[in-house]
Amino acid sequence: MPAMTAGTSVVVIAGGTGGARFLRGVREHLRAADPGTPTDDRVTAVVNTGDDITLFGLRICPDLDTVMYTLGGGIHEDQGWGRADETFHVKEELAAYKMRPDWFGLGDRDTATHLVRTQMLDAGYPLSEVTAALCARWAPGVRVLPMSDERVETHVVVDEGDGEHAVHFQEWWLRMRAQVPARRFVSVGADGARPGPGVVEALAEADVVLIAPSNPVVSVGTVLAVPGLRDALVASPARVVGVSPIVGGAPVRGMADACLDAVGVETSAVGVAGLYGARGHGGLLDGWVVDTADADSVAAVEALGIPCRAVPAMMRDVPTATALARDVLALAGELREA
């Protein structure tokens, strides 16, 4: 298959854990295929900030941090979020003071990141510059761009029996474990948000745009809901290829099924492909990659007008994520040739 390497500029739309692991695979594949060319300005991650939350006066950006730690070598690998070798003394002390909330795993090492970010934001630096400053330490090897410098927070409307009320996404995700059905998701601040610096330019200059196997509703959906961002993606000359976050009818991790249920989309590789839509029919996708477990779904995806491949898509470690990235970029290359 035609190599998608030399000079290829790749934009990856990403959320947290799945997005970060996939990004690491993309970086590793491009490094292996073209060792002489740094990946820093060839791979651009456009990262969801809708999960961001302010707790105890600190601004916390879970998906930006997960990408930064995963590609920078600081991630708690099995957990998929937070730092390796973490301790929770601050969290324990806050609990001793009966501080709420107590459902957020605030780590001590992680808290330093939130302190730097909060101090810089309070000094007037935009989130994109804060992220660049934090990445100077972690050297992720890709450009990490917030989807927007304006604050956009995902809140979840639930009804626990006493009428509808909204909770922050993190409370729904961590305290409620997404077990209370979401009536709808609200991107608070989205209307006044613009794509972050570099985002529209990266999409306009991309050879390939990859939609990572992240939560299609609250991660990818939130990124695409930033006014102007989806249009920039659709207008891009790049081939757009997505990777299904659903394997065998279930999310690989996390609770994307609870999110898909809330928006009335079937939790399947075909359902998510249909949610994103075929580029030729007003959607996003030029191609869709599903796991081999869903090989029997390829025909149904192609019936949507989306070329589809079934490849090993479970990212168990860096080599499997790198192989997935290779397969996805190979499909993008074929589509570009076609």
* Binding interface with ligand FO1 (CB under 6 A): 15-16, 51, 60, 62-63, 65-66, 81-82, 104-105, 110, 170, 173-174
Residue with smaller CB distance to ligand FO1, 20 or 142? 20
* 19 vs 25 by CB, closer to ligand FO1: 19
| 216 vs 307, beta carbon nearer ligand FO1 | 216
Shortest separation between residue 46's beta carbon and ligand FO1, angstroms: 15
Closest approach of ligand FO1 to the CB of residue 188, in Å: 15
Longest dimension (CA), the chain: 63
HEC profile for the chain?
A: CCCCCCCCCEEEEECCHHHHHHHHHHHHHHHHHCCCCCCCCCEEEEECCCCCEEECCEEECHHHHHHHHHHHCCECCCCCCCECCCCCHHHHHHHHCCCCCCCCCCCHHHHHHHHHHHHHHHCCCCHHHHHHHHHHHHCCCCEEEECCCCCCEEEEEEECCCCEEEEEHHHHHHHCCCCCCEEEEEEECHHHCCCCCCHHHHHHHCCEEEECCCCHHHHHHHHHCCCCHHHHHHHCCCEEEEECCEECCEECCCCHHHHHHHCCCCCCHHHHHHHHCEHHHCCCECEEEEEHHHHHHHHHHHHCCCCEEEECCCCCCHHHHHHHHHHHHHHHHHHHHC
Which CB sits closer to ligand FO1, 245 or 333? 245
Question: In the bound complex, what is the minimum distance in angstroms from residue 215's beta carbon to ligand FO1?
Answer: 7
Q: Which residue is nearest to ligand FO1 (CB)?
A: 105
Q: Residue 145 or 298: which CB sits closer to ligand FO1?
A: 145
What minimum distance in Å lies between the beta carbon of 62 and ligand FO1? 3
Give 58 or 234: the residue with its C-beta nearer to ligand FO1.
Answer: 58
Q: How far apart are CA 57 and CA 94, in angstroms?
A: 13
Select 62 or 307, whichever has its Cβ closest to ligand FO1.
Answer: 62
Closest distance of CB 256 from ligand FO1, Å: 10
Please say whether the dihedral angle defined by the alpha carbons of residues 44, 85, 317 and 292, taken in this order, is positive or negative. negative
Q: Taking the complex as a whole, how short is the minimal distance between the CB of residue 28 and ligand FO1, in angstroms?
A: 22
Shortest Cβ distance from residue 219 to ligand FO1 (Å)? 6
By DSSP bridging, strand 250-251 and strand 246-247 are: antiparallel
- Closer residue to ligand FO1, CB minimum distance, 74 or 242: 74
Asked whether the beta carbons of 211 and 15 are under 8 A apart, the reply is no
Shortest distance (Å) from residue 101 CB to ligand FO1: 10
